[in-house]
Amino acid sequence: MDKNKGFTLVELMIVVAVIGVLAAIALPAYQVYTARAQLMEALTLTDGVRQTVGIYFYEYGRLDVASSASDSAVSIKNRAAALDGRYVSQVSIHGAAGSIGVAFDQGALAGMGLRFEPSVSTSQIVTWRCIADGSVAGASAPVPDKYLPSSCR
């Protein structure tokens, strides 16, 4: 009696089907992971500017960095404008509240925007919240909620 060696066609088709199912599950999860990693670049890039805006508030008692012509405010605006990353194309400070806008031009977030909005607590501590915003300079759409870190949702 001859014994067949190797895999039958049915066994190979089952293996291919299992690999296809695993790929269908893993690929979207990986895309969300890479988009979140790209978004983390914005958080890291703007960290220094957010701290500087907080210091500006402690010194002057206001958050009007965008509209002020003081040397400190101009320095902060220039520092923000000089920021550039692999995925971040533009960082700007705008509005009377000193919000920081970030526009992406590469990767999964290309053309999307994010805004960091400061608020001052009763104990005079500046805290930041991030908001998906497509109206920031250089962006045409907001960052989808599924890409935002838990601190931004």
- Separation in Å, CA 105 to CA 14, 42, 54, 96: 41, 12, 27, 26
Residue 39: per-residue pLDDT = 92
Would you state the pLDDT for residue 54? 87
For residue 29, the SS3 value is helix
Structure tokens at 12: 């190979």
Confidence (pLDDT) at 98:
84
Three-state secondary-structure class, residue 102:
strand
Round to whole Å and give the CA distance between 129 and 74: 23
**Of 34, 101, 35, 103, nearest to 66 (Cα)?**
101
Is 87 in a helix, a strand, or coil? coil
* 9-152 topology per CATH: Glycoprotein, Type 4 Pilin (3.30.700)
Listed by start position, the domains of the chain span 9-152
Looking at residue 76, its pLDDT comes to 83
2 band by pLDDT with thresholds 50, 70 and 90: low
Enter the pTM of the model: 0.77
pLDDT tier, 7 (very low <50, low <70, confident <90, very high otherwise): confident
Residue 86 reports pLDDT greater than 80:
yes
> Beta-carbon neighbour count of residue 19 at 10 Å?
10
